[in-house]
Amino acid sequence: MAKIRHIAYRAADVDAMAKFFVDAMGMKMIQKRKNNAIDLSDGSVNITVLPLRAGTANGEPAKQPGIDHIGFTAENDQEQFRMLEAAGAKKAGAINLGTAYYEDKFVGPEDIIIDVGHWQGAAPIEK
């Protein structure tokens, strides 16, 4: 079974939202990326606070702040890809920035974006 390990949240004020998660929930700041996104962790799950414009077409802002996508870590990525596609999801791309951060993106029902990968600050699957 895959485990939730990553939630991406789009924010109008990335720094203020990250500070909220740190101050209110005790999350640890892992890094601030070049695109101003901030990675946070509770030791198991990574929350990335994304600027509204990060990774959008032509730098246009996202429609609104809120959850952008959900990421899962799986014991067997290829088997997870097969299960996603069998359930009707379509592969939408991949990002690979080395062994500490990678993801394959799928689009599911109602255009939900599901990532399968690994993120800094996220716990591995226990065997």
User: For the segment 11-46, what is each residue's pLDDT rounded down to a tens digit?
Assistant: 999 999 999 999 999 999 999 998 899 999 999 999
Q: Stretch 2-13: mean pLDDT, rounded?
A: 92
3-state secondary structure of 109: helix
Q: Does pLDDT of 54 surpass 70?
A: yes
Section 45-69 average pLDDT: 82
Window from 1-5, 101-105, 120-124 with minimum mean pLDDT = 101-105
Q: Is the pLDDT of residue 127 over 80?
A: no
- CB hemisphere CA count around 8 (13 angstroms): 23
Dihedral sign for Cα atoms in the order 15, 20, 21, 22: positive
Strands 102-107 and 46-51: unpaired
Is the distance from CB of 49 to CB of 91 less than 8 angstroms? no
Cα–Cα distances (Å) from 38 to 5, 6, 8, 45, 75, in that order, read 15, 13, 10, 14, 26
Q: Which fold has domain 3-118?
A: 2,3-Dihydroxybiphenyl 1,2-Dioxygenase; domain 1 (3.10.180)
Q: How confident is the model at residue 59 (pLDDT cuts 50, 70, 90)?
A: low
pTM given for the model: 0.81
Tens of pLDDT, residues 64-111: 788 888 999 998 989 999 999 999 999 987 776 655 556 888 988 888
